[in-house]
């Protein structure tokens, strides 16, 4: 996609590494096998000696946050994360309706998978500007979780959209109801994302298509949602 952007694949979910003049920032931290996948991906790109200076989260679901505390301890990286998911970083989940199923599964999974609670060094709110990778702006996209947040790079017209949708060619879809803490807000967040000046989007659950193709798929899904 970009010479200063690296996709790291782990079972069920991808995460990304952003590189600028001061080092590397992880955008989410992956799920099972993330450390091994990260080391391999960095070595293949020739970044294995670059310092990891930060970890930036899109939201607090376990498949994005499982490795955060351990990686931060190993690398000395700061942690920045959406404020409204604060309880999730401490291992607490507020679940209503169908999302109680996912909340129960996460409650079981945290101790089994070795999740370590953490408190971010910086809280992220809607509209916050981050001075990394040429400039990123936090875009609150609630629904999947209370604090679910994307990061928009205006200079590249690119949105890291977290779990706003999953992009797998003809099997692209929005997250199922059991995974959405506030499903009534999903449509609002989709509209908010697509109102940005976009050339591409990068979801965490996705195949190897280019960012422009992921955006095309998101627009098709949004059109179906409206009945267009």
**Of 1 and 223, the one with more pLDDT:** 223
pLDDT at 228 over 70: no
pLDDT score of 201 = 98
Domain enclosing residue 99, as ranges: 5-226
Over residues 13-32, mean pLDDT: 95
> How many domains is the chain partitioned into structurally?
1
- pLDDT of 83 above 80: yes
Yes or no: say if 89 and 106 are a contact pair by the CB < 8 Å rule.
no
Section 170-196 average pLDDT: 93
Q: Where are the alpha helices (DSSP H) in the chain?
A: 34-45, 62-65, 68-75, 86-89, 99-113, 186-194, 211-226
Cα→Cα distances 206→8, 11, 34, Å: 11, 12, 16
* Banded model confidence at residue 105, pLDDT cuts 50, 70, 90: low
Beta strands in the chain (DSSP E): 5-10, 13-20, 23-27, 52-56, 78-82, 122-124, 129-130, 136-140, 149-153, 158-162, 200-203
- The answer to which of 8-17, 56-65, 103-112, 154-163 has the lowest mean pLDDT is 103-112
pLDDT above 60 for 51: yes
100 — pLDDT class (breaks 50, 70, 90)? low
Whole-number Å distance between alpha carbons of 182 and 143: 4
pLDDT tens, residue by residue, 127-174: 999 999 999 999 999 999 999 999 999 999 999 999 999 999 999 999
pLDDT over 90 percentage in the chain: 80
Distance CA 172, CA 165 (A): 7
- 59: domain CATH number is 3.60.15.10
The percent of residues above 70 in pLDDT, for the chain, comes to 93
Q: Which of 101, 112, 137, 92 is nearest to 31 (CA)?
A: 112
Q: Are residues 17 and 37 in contact, defined by beta-carbon separation less than 8 angstroms? A: no
Tell me, what's the pLDDT at 96?
58
What pLDDT is recorded for position 97?
Answer: 56
């Amino acid at each position: 996609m970009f010479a200063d952007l690296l996709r790291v694949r782990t079972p069920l979910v991808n995460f990304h590494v952003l590189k600028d003049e001061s080092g590397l920032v992880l955008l989410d931290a992956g799920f099972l096998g993330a450390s091994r996948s990260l080391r391999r991906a960095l070595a293949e790109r020739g970044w294995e000696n670059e310092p990891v200076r930060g970890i930036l989260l899109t939201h607090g679901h376990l498949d994005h946050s499982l490795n955060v505390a351990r990686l931060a301890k190993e690398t000395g990286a700061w942690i920045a994360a959406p404020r409204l998911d604060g309880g999730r970083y401490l291992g607490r989940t507020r679940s209503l309706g169908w999302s109680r199923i996912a909340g129960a599964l996460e409650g079981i999974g945290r101790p089994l998978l070795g999740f370590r609670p953490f408190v971010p060094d910086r809280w992220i709110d809607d509209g916050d500007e981050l001075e990394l990778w040429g400039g990123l702006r936090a875009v609150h996209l609630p629904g999947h979780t209370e604090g679910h947040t994307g990061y928009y790079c205006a200079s590249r017209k690119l949105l890291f959209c977290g779990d706003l949708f999953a992009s797998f060619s003809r099997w692209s879809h929005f997250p199922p109801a059991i995974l959405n803490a506030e499903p009534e807000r999903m449509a609002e967040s989709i509209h908010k994302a697509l109102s940005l000046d976009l050339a591409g989007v990068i979801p965490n659950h996705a195949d190897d298509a280019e960012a422009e193709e992921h955006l095309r798929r998101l627009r098709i899904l949004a059109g179906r949602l409206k009945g267009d």
